[in-house]
Structure 1
C-alpha cells in the first residue's frame, strides 16, 4: 500500500504532466484552476479560520470554491492547490464540503498541494544552481524557495526536511518564518506587495463573469445581471460595455428566452 506522501506526490506529478506544467513554478494558479480545470473560484471575506468553502453540484458536477480574500498570498495559493487535491482524489461530495472531519483526506490534499507547488526535482535544481550544500543551507536559501515557488515558508521547510537538506532543528526554526519577513530581509518585498493587491481583493469567478457577459451579448440577460455577477456598479459595467463596443443582440423571436440562468 502506498504511503500518503508517495500517493500524493505521484498524483501531483501526474497533474503537472497532464497540464504541461513541467517543473516550473505555477505563477497563475487561479487561471489554471478556472480555465483549464473548470473550477469556479470566487474570492470573498470568509469567517475566521476558514480558508475556503467548496460546493459541488450533484447534477452537473460543477465545482464552486469560495476562497478567503487575504494578504497572506502564499496561504491563499496553498488553499487553492489543496482544493485541487481534493478534486483530483475525488473527495468532494454534493453540497458544501468542509473537510476537517476527514483527517486522512486533509493530509493527502495538503501533501498534494506541497508537491504541486514545489516539486522535489525542481527544488533540487534551484539549490544546485546556487551550489547549496546539504545541512549547510542559510535562511537566504529558504527565502529563494518561498519567492520562486510562491509557497509558505513552512511548506518549503517541510520539503527541505523530507529531502534531507536541513536538520530537524533547522526545520523547527524555519517553520516559524513568514513570507513578509523573508521578503523584507532579502529585498523582494516590493514584488510581493504588488501581488497582494490581487490576493486581498474580493473578486468574482472569472468563468462566471465571462459567461454572464456572453449571455448579455446574446441578449439573454440584462446589464444588471452582469453587474450582480461581477460585483460591480451597473454604471461602471455600462461604461465598459460602451467603451469596448459590447452590445446585446436582439432576440430573434418572441419565443426566445430573456433569461437563461442554467448556462452559468
Structure 2
C-alpha cells in the first residue's frame, strides 16, 4: 500500500474503533497487537500492513475487512435528521447519529447474509415534497390518509412500534440517546430502509408522540431533508406535530369519546354534570396522548373548555392518580423506560448470531448492553452461536479483495536494493 492508502485505512480503523466505543488499548488487546503498533497503524505511520493484521483488527471490531479498507458505505450514504432541543451539544448529536448509523450498518450486513429481509420501503403520502403552505391541514390530511390505508378507523393505537414496522415498514425503537435528542430518523437511500429511534423516558405519551412525529417525517418524505433543528420550529416540524396529533387522536374519535364521557364518567356537580377536566383526562387516556394534545384536538372541534382546562393542566401522571388509573399508568411508565430495539432488525441479528454470521459485539450494541450481559440473556434463552474453529471464518470476499490489493501494490513496487 502507498502512504496515502495506509493513512486512509488508519482513519477507517479509528472511526470503527470509535463506533465500537473502544480506546486504543482495548482494541490492541483484543486484536493481539501492542498499543504502539495500533497507534502507528491508525496514524498511517507503518511501512506496511499485513492481511493478518487487518483481519485481527476486523475481528476485534466485529466488522468486515472491507470497512477498514474502503470505509463504511452506509455511514457515507445514510441521511440523518435528529430532533433536538436548543441546548443540544455537538457531542449529543454525534452520539445519536452514531447509534442510528450503526443500526443501519448492521442491517446492511445482515442483508448480505442468508437471513430473510424486507425490501419494501415505508409508504409515503402522495403529496410528499410539497411546500408547507398549511401545516395543520397537510398534517391532518396525511394522518387521515394513512389511517384509511391501514384500516385503522378512529380506534386508539395500542402497540405503536409494532404498527409502524408491520404496516408502514418503518423500523422503530426506543433507545438511550442524549436527553436533548427526542428522536432521530434516518434513511439508507441505496436500500430504501428507514429507521426512527426515540428516547426512553418516564413520560409514555411523549414517547408515543415522538414515534408518530418521526413517522410523519417519513410519510411526508421530509424527515431526511431537515437536520440539526434548533431554536424555532420549522414548517416541517409543525406539520409533523399536526400529523402526530391527528394520527394518534383523530378528531372524529375525540368527538365521540368526549360525548361518551358525558354519561360514563361519574357526575361531580349538583346539576349532574361531569367535571370537564375529568372528561378531558378520559379522552387523553383513551388515545394515550397528553392532556395538552387532547385539549388542542377538542379546540379544533369547537368544544368549549373552562379556564381550569385552558391554563396549567396537570400532568398525565397526576391525572391518572386523581381519576383512578394510576397503577396502570405507572406500568406504562416502566415500559417507556425499557430499551426496545427495532424488532425486525433485532430478530435478524439474533438469527445471524445463532448461525455464527455475526459476533456478539454488534448484537450487544443493538441491545444497549455490555457484552457479558447480552451473552447471559441470550444463553438464558438457549441461543448460542455454533462452535467455532480456532480462527474465525474470514469474510472470503473481503479477504480476497484485501489480498489482491496488497499483491497488486507489491507487484507495482520495484524490489528493494
- Whether the TM-score (by the shorter chain) exceeds 0.5 is yes
Q: Which of 213, 220, 223 is 1:89 aligned to?
A: 220
Shift in Å at residue 116 of structure 1?
0.6
Counterparts of 2:178 and 2:397, CA distance in 1: 30
Counterparts of 1:150 and 1:187, CA distance in 2: 15
Partner SS for 2:198: strand
Matches within 5 A, 1:246-257: 246-248=383-385, 257=395
Shift in Å at residue 19 of structure 1?
1.9
Partner of 2:83: none
Q: Which of 95, 98, 103 is 2:228 aligned to?
A: 98
Q: Deviations over 1:49-90 (max 9, x none)?
A: x31122222322323333122111111111111111111111
Shift in Å at residue 129 of structure 1?
2.2
Q: Which of 15, 33, 43 is 2:146 aligned to?
A: 15
Is there any run of 5+ residues in structure 1 with no aligned partner, and where? Answer: none
Shift in Å at residue 240 of structure 1?
4.4
Question: Contact (CA 8 Å) 2:276, 2:309: kept in 1 or not?
Answer: no
Partner SS for 1:65: strand
- The structure-2 alpha-carbon separation of the partners of 1:229 and 1:43, relative to structure 1 and needing over 3 Å to count, comes to closer
What is the TM-score normalised by the length of structure 2?
A: 0.54
Shift in Å at residue 171 of structure 1?
4.9
Partner SS for 2:197: strand
- The structure-2 alpha-carbon separation of the partners of 1:255 and 1:194, relative to structure 1 and needing over 3 Å to count, comes to closer
Counterparts of 1:45 and 1:217, CA distance in 2: 28
Shift in Å at residue 223 of structure 1?
3.1
Shift in Å at residue 179 of structure 1?
0.6
- Paired positions, count: 253
Q: Which of 235, 248, 259 is 1:128 aligned to?
A: 259
Question: Contact (CA 8 Å) 1:67, 1:80: kept in 2 or not?
Answer: yes
Q: Which of 150, 158, 172 is 1:27 aligned to?
A: 158
Partner of 1:221: 358
Matched, 1:53 2:190: no
What is the TM-score normalised by the length of structure 1?
A: 0.82
Is there any run of 5+ residues in structure 2 with no aligned partner, and where? Answer: 1-131, 264-272, 399-417
Q: Which of 316, 323, 343 is 1:179 aligned to?
A: 316
- The structure-2 alpha-carbon separation of the partners of 1:117 and 1:213, relative to structure 1 and needing over 3 Å to count, comes to same
Partner SS for 2:173: strand
Question: Contact (CA 8 Å) 2:188, 2:194: kept in 1 or not?
Answer: yes
- The structure-2 alpha-carbon separation of the partners of 1:36 and 1:98, relative to structure 1 and needing over 3 Å to count, comes to farther
Counterparts of 2:201 and 2:151, CA distance in 1: 29
Partner of 1:193: 330
Partner of 1:150: 288
Question: Contact (CA 8 Å) 2:320, 2:326: kept in 1 or not?
Answer: yes
Greater mean alpha carbon deviation, residues 67-76 or residues 52-61: 52-61
